[in-house]
Amino acid sequence: MFPLAPAYPNEDAFYCRFFTEVGSYLDAANRRLHEVDFRAEENEEAFSVCPFHDTRRGFLMNKAALTQITGEWPSVIEGIQFYTSLFGVKSEQGLNLARAWRISLASMFAPLYLYKRSTAPYANGSLPTPVSGVFKIMLDVPTTMDLMFMQGHNTGIASATDKTMPQQIQAFADDNLILLNGEYACAGSPGLIDNVVSILFEDRESNPDQYSHFKEYFKDSQEFLAFAYYMTNQYVMGTMYLLSTMTSMEVAYRQLRESGRYSPLVHDENEKLSAYERRRRIALEIMQDPENRESVLQQFRKLAEDGSLWGISASTVLDLSGCFERSVDFLKKVEISDARQIAELHGLYQTEIENHLIHAQRMAESSIGTHAIFPVPVRFGNPRQNPVQLLRNML
């Protein structure tokens, strides 16, 4: 097992901050968008035991949420098809994994857009359940693809057009236990998951006779795409920050361990890990090799940088080169620094990345004419829980 420093606060990951934000909202069925722990419901119908013959078998599943979603299944499918139709297929791109990733992120950012846009925003508790249903189904899709991109960073996996890609995504999630989260599991059946993911690899045209409900929700689809583009850039910056922080802290804690100043916690191999921690460990295995780091970050940069895929004009495209170069430079310096220097380097690095995020934040806000998409100022977690502060306290 690779070295395990203390788990870094979830707030350090952009997508965890995002989930904290949307998790406070209710949909029109009075259910939370991000149903973290359904066992808190005092209802025996809230959960069931997984019957599927895969790694989830025997784990608890969110039966109540699944019942809600399957009850509106045609509308949920229409929603996924609508999001897919917004990303037209260009001949040089094809139905590739990168396009599916972008579609899944757009569906993930859709509720935040509907709540925050300046024109006819939805109030808390009024979000149409088909929109929240797609959101719940798609939550783990982009983060699963993130890990696939990381593992295939030298293989051109982002441009893969294999017809079996939907099945490969599902197999990857099962093989890497991504369908598990602590004591409970994803509730979707293998057939349901395959059905949903397969739509992301379809070439769908948008015409007036299709997706009528979702076109009513997203009357200005170009505004929504612009917002999703800027949010995706924030997502990539947050991912770069997270990967760089994890890598640098592992180097620092290893040095402290070798000098006898730190004893890692003993982890039971059978421990039921959170989805966040499981992803962190998979990412760490990849990022431990210095030869992987630059190409992994480059992969994520390429995924987001083409604004034309979102219909964004050249004058409003975000430049991720500064964020990328800063991340690579930071990781290279970490390799020749001691633990104290790493803590100081990270302090400077965090400030730089936050500046990039603030710029992307303002662009996202300006695209929909509102403010405070996230609490201001944009920061990565509680400074007292910052991994750098934890490290400094040990030196």
Distance of CA 102 to the CA centre of its chain: 11
Contact partners, residue 323, CB within 8 Å, separation at least 6: 236, 237, 240, 301, 353, 356
From CA 24, how far away is CA 111, in angstroms rounded?
Answer: 12
pTM of this structure: 0.91
- The reported pLDDT for the residue numbered 5 is 62
Name the packing angle between helices 275-287 and 221-258 (round to 10°).
Answer: 70
Contact partners, residue 264, CB within 8 Å, separation at least 6: 3, 4, 5, 253, 257
Output phi, psi for 184, to 5 deg. -130, 170
- The reported pLDDT for the residue numbered 1 is 42
Encoded tokens for 108: 């993930």
Q: What is the pLDDT along the chain (395 residues), one digit of tens a residue?
A: 445 566 555 445 566 667 777 878 899 988 888 876 555 555 666 778 888 889 888 888 877 777 777 788 899 999 999 999 999 876 556 789 999 999 999 999 999 999 999 999 999 999 999 999 999 889 889 999 999 999 999 888 988 888 899 999 999 999 999 888 888 888 788 888 888 999 999 988 766 578 888 999 999 999 999 999 999 999 999 899 989 988 998 899 889 888 888 877 666 666 778 888 888 889 999 999 999 999 999 999 999 988 888 888 888 899 999 999 999 999 999 999 999 999 899 989 988 988 888 888 889 999 998 866 665 544 565 666 677 777 887 77
Secondary structure of residue 109 in the 3-state scheme: helix
- Residue 64: C-alpha distances to residues 24, 53, 54, 124, 244 (Å): 18, 21, 21, 20, 38
- The reported pLDDT for the residue numbered 287 is 94
